[in-house]
Amino acid sequence: MKIIVCIKQVPDTAEVKINPETGTLMREGVPGIVNPFDTFAVEEALCLKEKFGGRVTVLTMGPQQAVEALKEALAMGADEAVLLSDRAFAGSDTWATAYTLALAIRKLGAFDIILCGKQAIDGDTGQVGPGIAVQLAVPALTYVSRINRVEPDPAPGTIEVERVLDEGRETLQTGLPVLLTVVKDINMPRLATIIDIRRAVRMKIPTWTAADLAGADPEKLGLEGSPTRVITICSPPGRGGTVDMIPAERADEAASVLVEKILAEKIL
């Protein structure tokens, strides 16, 4: 079974502090991490490989240092990794990102399953996964919380998954090849051992540029190919005012003060 995982390196928001005076983000020295949802995608790929055999390829698009994210995936057990990095890709929005990743996936050849995290924690769009699927003309099953069954035979095979929607869980079946985006409760990602990490560090990771992607239309890459433009960025308005602290010497008194205040807000 040929499995491809698309991952993204994101700033570790756990390390991000907000400057209390200016309300802006303080990101100095914030390390890059693998987008947490993508680690579930890598883990699921490895589980599928353990069950069906095959090969797991990890793909990311980003600056040179995004290679660190790929090494983490290799340390977890992925077989190979490719970095897409080129000035021509810079400034890609979700459309151009999906377009570029899809070109790279075509270059990798036939596949059975593409796995992505449900969204990245910096952009929070969740658009790139479905975008890749449309570019490759394969079905996309989003927000997958469980792979119930994969039947590789008869070729090209079928898959049955459970996915999370706003009102409940849906069971879906579709044909392979397929793209899945996964949510947090699908699995518990394994931790790489020191030996794995050492092995991953030694593995060669090729960098592909626009010139390596057959059929890439330069007008559809990077900022040029992106339909959307960010025009301003600002800090959200604060919640304003300060907290009204209710004395807590006696619980029932504190509760009764709070109940009155909430009732006075007329929201219940």
Partner 1 sequence: MAIVSVNGETCIGCGACVDACPFGALVLVDDVLTVTDKCTACGACLEICPLMALSLPETVKGPAPDLSEYQGVWVWVEQFGGKAQSISWEMMGQGRRLADRRKAALTACVLGHDVGRIARQAVDYGADRVFRADHPGLAVYRTAPYAAVLVDLVRRFKPEIFLLGASLRGRDLAGSVATELYTGLTADCTGLEIDPESGLLRQTRPAFGGNILATIICPRHRPQMSTVRHRVFEMPPADPARQGQIIDVEPQLDEARIATRVLNFVREYTEVNLTEARVIVSGGRGLGGPKGFEMLRELAGVLGGTVGASRAAVDAGWIPYEHQVGQTGRTVRPDLYIACGISGAVQHLAGMNTARIIVAINKDPAAPIFGVADYGIAGDLFQIVPALTAQFRARLK
The rounded distance, in Å, linking the Cα atoms of 255 and 261 is: 10
Q: How far is the CB of 125 from partner 1 (least distance, A)?
A: 4
The rounded distance, in Å, linking the Cα atoms of 244 and 232 is: 34
Position 224 contacts partner 1 (CB under 8 A): yes
Among 52, 65, 47, 51, CA closest to 5: 47
Among 233, 35, 250, CA closest to 122: 35
Choice from 4, 103, 140, 216 touching partner 1 (CB under 8 A):
140
Question: Judging by beta carbons within 10 Å of its beta carbon (0-12, 13-18, 19+), is residue 6 exposed, middle or buried?
Answer: buried
Judged by beta carbon, residue 8 or residue 49, the one nearer partner 1 is 8
Position 114 contacts partner 1 (CB under 8 A): no
Q: How far is the CB of 7 from partner 1 (least distance, A)?
A: 16
Instruction: Locate 42 and state its tokens.
Output: 């890598």
Position 100 contacts partner 1 (CB under 8 A): no
Q: How far is the CB of 232 from partner 1 (least distance, A)?
A: 5
Position 134 contacts partner 1 (CB under 8 A): yes
Q: 164 with 183: CB under 8 angstroms?
A: yes
Q: State whether residue 97 is helix, strand or coil.
A: helix
Position 191 contacts partner 1 (CB under 8 A): no
Position 149 contacts partner 1 (CB under 8 A): no
Using the rule CB under 8 A, give the single segment among 42-50, 63-71, 74-82, 190-198 that binds partner 1: 63-71
- Nearest-10 Cα torsion for 100, 92, 216, 60: -30
Q: How far is the CB of 72 from partner 1 (least distance, A)?
A: 18
- Footprint of partner 1 on residues 32-51 (CB under 8 A)? 36-37
Position 241 contacts partner 1 (CB under 8 A): yes
- Footprint of partner 1 on residues 192-211 (CB under 8 A)? none
Q: 1 with 152: CB under 8 angstroms?
A: yes
The rounded distance, in Å, linking the Cα atoms of 84 and 64 is: 9
Q: How far is the CB of 178 from partner 1 (least distance, A)?
A: 8
The rounded distance, in Å, linking the Cα atoms of 141 and 138 is: 10
Q: How far is the CB of 54 from partner 1 (least distance, A)?
A: 21
Q: How far is the CB of 240 from partner 1 (least distance, A)?
A: 10
The rounded distance, in Å, linking the Cα atoms of 61 and 7 is: 8
Judged by beta carbon, residue 9 or residue 56, the one nearer partner 1 is 9
Position 89 contacts partner 1 (CB under 8 A): yes
Position 218 contacts partner 1 (CB under 8 A): no
The rounded distance, in Å, linking the Cα atoms of 110 and 101 is: 14
Position 268 contacts partner 1 (CB under 8 A): yes
Choice from 54, 106, 107, 130 touching partner 1 (CB under 8 A):
130
Judged by beta carbon, residue 36 or residue 54, the one nearer partner 1 is 36
Q: 216 with 89: CB under 8 angstroms?
A: no
